[in-house]
Structure 1
Amino acid sequence: MTAARTSAPASLYRRLLAWLLLPLLGLGALMLAQAYIGAREASDRAFDRLLEASSLAIAEQVKWQGDRLWLDLPPAALEMLTTDAEERVFYAIYNASGDYITGSARLPSGPERSSGKPLHYADITWHGLPLRLGIRAAQIDDWSQRERFEVRVAHTREGRERLTLSLFQGSLARLALMALLAVGVVMLAIRSALAPLTRLRRAIRERDPRTLTPLELPLPRELAELRESLNELLARMRRVRANQERFIGDASHQLRTPLAGLSARAELALRQDDPDIWHAALQAMGATSTSAARLATQLLSLTRLNNPEATAELRPLDLSEIARAATRNALGTCHRAGIDLGVETPQAPVSVAGIDWQLEEALGNLIDNARRYGATRITVRVLDAPATLEVEDDGPGIAADQRLVVLRPFHRIHQDGAGSGLGLAIVDGIARTHRARLSLHDAHQGSGLRVALTFSRDRS
């Protein structure tokens, strides 16, 4: 089976060359046609002057003799129409009544004259021969006789066609030289115009893959926009890498202590023979591993929320459904700890644009924080106008001067607590994702803390 081959993309240089040369070819064709028409008109003008001179020379030799027109034709009158092309020349004299008087052939009168000029021309076909006919109206210039007559002179077109070809070949040589110069100029112009793009390509190709510094390369305005777009991409990549490095540093720092504790407890337990000591060590190791797993999950959540390139797709959802789902998820843990967990929602749906699993995680972290820091009563509340999610507890609360500090990752007010210091930081990241405002207040009644996520009025 032969593999399908995809056609290579067209070269930008070739495309520009084609788009520029095609109009030039069309223009060249028009210039060639114009050159041929001009050569033919010049040839006709030259030979028409000969026809004019020949007909005038014949007309001057016409006399009135013996009550009739008489012509004594000199040889030079017709020889001036003959060239190396050996044209055939004809002439005829007609009186005012249109009667043939004398000549070498009975030439037709041609089309009717549309002007009062004494000489006019016509292209005719006579006995299968294409002729150029010149007709001159004249009269006897004598004091006693004013007889009118007509001189008709015609010749074949060989000389005209030869002169036309000669003139056209001269124009063709000049046009070919101009075309070669134009093509050369176009090719040089395209190469010069694409040179900055070549420099940009080389600069990108020669960069170290680990280098994410901005490109500093002088370029024209159109390519400068491409350079700025590349620099913006590099800046986003730097932020992503910084986020990854921060996650690795935070994870290694925070997981080092529980992992070291697990190793130490396992080593101590292996040195003992008492099953009760083994049981206690296993219980402690289980609690430590649970805490480490939760810490790793929170680190992953925080890293994903802080990723500047993560584009969340917000969808319409009901905050009341989110609050009830988060309450159901935490109900078992709070019940085992003896904590009264409840939810308050309005009758009508409270719709916002958001991500359901993120808002559920935010509420779960707020409920877990309240549970870990001594609350006995926790209330999840949904408010409207503006749309707000609240978690209120009756725990020790947080002092007003500490409410901004606790939003920082790994900051814990009580260092002996079981928390990791990431819960509120995750909630803050989710609030920023939803363009909501996170605020910490005193509880409505007695001591405690009330955490609110207030959504903007534009919920769509």
Structure 2
Amino acid sequence: MSVRNSLYWRLLAWLLLPLLGLAALMLWQAYLGARDTADRAFDRLLEAASLAIAEQVKWQDNRLWLDLPPAALEMLATDAEERVFYALYATGDEFVTGNARLPALEGGGTALRFADVGWQDQTLRLGVREARLEDWDQQERFEVRVAHTREGREALAFSLFQGSLARVALLALLATGVLVLAIRFALAPLTRLRRAIRARDPRTLAPLELALPRELAELRETLNELLSRMRRVRANQERFIGDASHQLRTPLAGLSARAELALRQNDPDAWRDALQAMRTTSASAAHLAVQLLSLTRLNNPEATPELEPLDLTRVARRATRHALSACQRAGIDLGVETPESAVIVSGIDWQLEEALANLIDNARRYGSQGRDDPCVTVRVNASPPALEVEDNGPGIPAHLRLMVLRPFFRGQAPGEGSGLGLAIVDGIARSHGARLSLEEAYSGHGLRAIIRFPEAHA
């Protein structure tokens, strides 16, 4: 299984990515905090050094004079060996003394200012202190400028950042470990469900009985519903197979009995009668086998072709033409009524022809009973689109019209039918999104079988 299709790795990735982003943000904040802490610490040293220098400024020989104490600059020296600069300026930016001519800072008016400045291809941290002499007879203003390079600051900032990096890395490792364990524990019920399904006997369709969290319980119930539908399908298949075997066993047993009885006779006329009976029985068995194959094919959704536009008028005429000879031999008047224009629906032509063939065959077998002038009419309606087969026979009682749609249900009418014709027609209708209904004939005597198609398919 690839990582992309793994739920475990997906959850881990989607949870780790925000965690890594948060860790990166924390490290950036830690770096900025370390730099700010180092700047504030060294700025305090600049402030102390400028104050120490300002206290040593005096007025002597009509000018400012500085007797620089060694401790004023030594306090700025660190193990990083950064370079230290100082300068004393009088009013008007006049350089008095110092080891470098340091630049001025804009924004006067404050006693102490700090800034990073570029000076002679190097970056300095410059502190400027404005002060004045405190003698009773002289109050000359001056500026003390003290600066040093940033090696010490950067070393301190990196040291502070290393401490933060170690803490963040440790927290990230702990969070990742907790996250991995949490995902593993959270997916444990899914693993149990998978193992329970894999360990089941493939022949059993019993419901799953497994304690699961609410979200997976819904999946379990969905699986149980699927298993319940599969149980119903298997029960229907087993019942269908049992009925079909029973239906086929009867004519086959009849053929065997007829053949055995004929072999005991020496009269050619008895042989002829047995052969005729065997021919009738074999024709009935062949018809039953064809209907069983049709019903099996209808129940296989993978073998169903796509629906295509077709004309119901042409389907009705072809089905009527194919059934005409059988109806004429039975003395039944078979006719077809179609509109002048085409009636277009989405369907499968051979299935609809088979449905009409079964309806016409049922009308021929049962609709002609008890009538001196039996007739069967195939009709096509345009709005809504529908196929009708009407006979003038005894009809079917209203309380049996739904039951005769079940396979192998023959109702009360005698005959050699198998009870599959209307079930096949109903399956074909449902596969076309249509509905089969059995109603009383227009004349009040007989049955009218109608396949109504939805208007959207017209």
Residue from 414, 423, 431 that aligns with 2:421: 423
| SS of the residue 2:77 aligns to | coil
Is the alpha carbon distance of 1:288 and 1:140 closer, same or farther for their aligned partners in structure 2, counting shifts above 3 Å? same
Instruction: Report whether the alignment pairs 1:98 with 2:97.
Output: no
Residue 73, structure 1, aligned to residue 68, structure 2: yes
Whole-angstrom distance in 2 between the partners of 1:359 and 1:428: 11
The 3-state SS of whatever aligns with 2:14 is helix
Q: Which residue of 2 aligns with 1:3?
A: none
1:53 maps to a residue whose letter is A
C-alpha distance in 2 between matches for 1:213 and 1:309: 26
Equivalent residue, structure 2, for 1:378: 376
- Note the residue ranges of structure 1 that are not aligned, 5 or more in a row: 1-5
Structure 1 residue 58, shift from structure 2 partner: 0.9
Note the 1:393-404 alignment, pairs <5 A: 393-399=391-397, 403-404=401-402
Cα RMSD (Å): 3.0
Letter in 2 for 1:300: L
Whether contact under 8 Å (1:240, 1:309) holds in the other structure is no
Change (3 A) 1:224 1:312: farther
Asked whether the 8 Å contact 2:3–2:9 carries over to 1, the reply is no
- Corresponding position of 2:18: 23
User: Which residue, out of 348, 354, 364, partners 2:341?
Assistant: 348
What pairs up with 1:269-348 in 2 under 5 angstroms?
Answer: 269-272=262-265, 277-305=270-298, 314-348=307-341
| TM score, norm. by length of structure 2 | 0.87
**Equivalent residue of 2:291, what SS?**
helix
Summarize the alignment of residues 448-459 of structure 1 with structure 2, pairs less than 5 Å apart: 448-456=446-454, 459=457
| Matching residue within 81, 84, 89 for 2:84 | 89
1:235 is matched with: 228
The alignment of Structure 1 onto Structure 2 pairs a total of residues equal to 452
- Aligned equivalent of 1:163: 156
Q: Please give the per-residue CA displacement for 1:402-432, whole angstroms capped at 9, x wherever unaligned.
A: 5455444333356752222332333344444
Q: Contact 1:214–1:231 (CA<8 Å) still a contact in 2?
A: yes
Q: Verify the 8 A CA contact 2:320 2:334 in the aligned structure 1.
A: yes
Native 8 Å contact 1:387 1:455 kept in 2: yes
Q: Tell me by how many angstroms 1:40 deviates.
A: 1.4
The worse-fitting range, judged by mean Cα deviation, of 408-417 and 327-336 is 408-417
Displacement of 1:44: 1.2
Q: How far apart, CA to CA, are the structure 2 residues paired with 1:416 and 1:252?
A: 21
Whether contact under 8 Å (2:366, 2:413) holds in the other structure is no
Q: Counterparts of 2:152 and 2:189 in 1: how far apart (Å)?
A: 57
Distance change >3 Å, CA 294–CA 9, structure 1 → 2: farther
Give the Cα–Cα distance (whole angstroms) in 2 for the partners of residues 338 and 295 of structure 1. 24
**CA deviation digits over 1:129-165, x for unaligned, max 9?**
5432222222111111111222122223332222212
Distance 1:404 1:127 in 2: 104
Verify: 1:39 aligned to 2:34, yes or no.
Answer: yes
Please say if residues 434 and 453 of structure 2, whose CA atoms lie closer than 8 Å, have aligned partners that are also in contact: yes
1:263 paired to 2:256: yes
TM-score w.r.t. the length of structure 1 is 0.87
Distance of aligned partners of 1:8 and 1:325 in 2 relative to their CA distance in 1, 3 Å threshold: farther
- Identify which of 107, 113, 121 aligns with 2:106: 113
Deviation at 1:248, TM superposition (A): 0.5
Q: Distance in 2 between matches of 1:127 and 1:401?
A: 109
Deviation at 1:238, TM superposition (A): 2.4
| 1:59 match | 54
Give the CA deviation at 1:383: 3.2
User: Given the alignment, which residue of 178, 192, 200 partners 2:193?
Assistant: 200
| Offset of residue 60 of structure 1 | 0.8
Alignment partner, residue 132 of structure 2: 139
Does 148-157 or 225-234 show the bigger shift? 225-234
Q: Secondary structure at the match of 1:341?
A: strand
Matched residue of 1:412: which SS? coil
Q: Is the 8 A contact 2:23 2:172 kept in 1?
A: yes
Measure the CA separation in 2 of the matches of 1:120 and 1:384. 96
Q: Work out the CA distance in 1 between the residues paired with 2:13 and 2:400.
A: 69
Q: Residue 340 of structure 2 aligns to a residue in which SS?
A: coil
Q: Look up the equivalent residue of 2:38 and give its one-letter code.
A: S
CA distance in 2, matches of 1:312, 1:221: 41
Residue 178 of structure 1: how far off its partner (Å):
1.4
- TM-superposed deviation, 1:457: 5.0
Residue in structure 2 matching 1:190, options 168, 175, 183 = 183
SS in structure 2 opposite 1:186? Answer: helix
1:179 partner letter: A
- Name the counterpart of 1:210: 203
Identity of aligned residues (%): 71
Amino acid across the alignment from 1:205: R
Distance 1:60 1:360 in 2: 117
Q: Which shifted more, 425-434 or 188-197?
A: 425-434
CA distance in 1, matches of 2:204, 2:241: 20
One-letter code aligned to 2:134: D
Classify the secondary structure of the residue corresponding to 1:176: helix
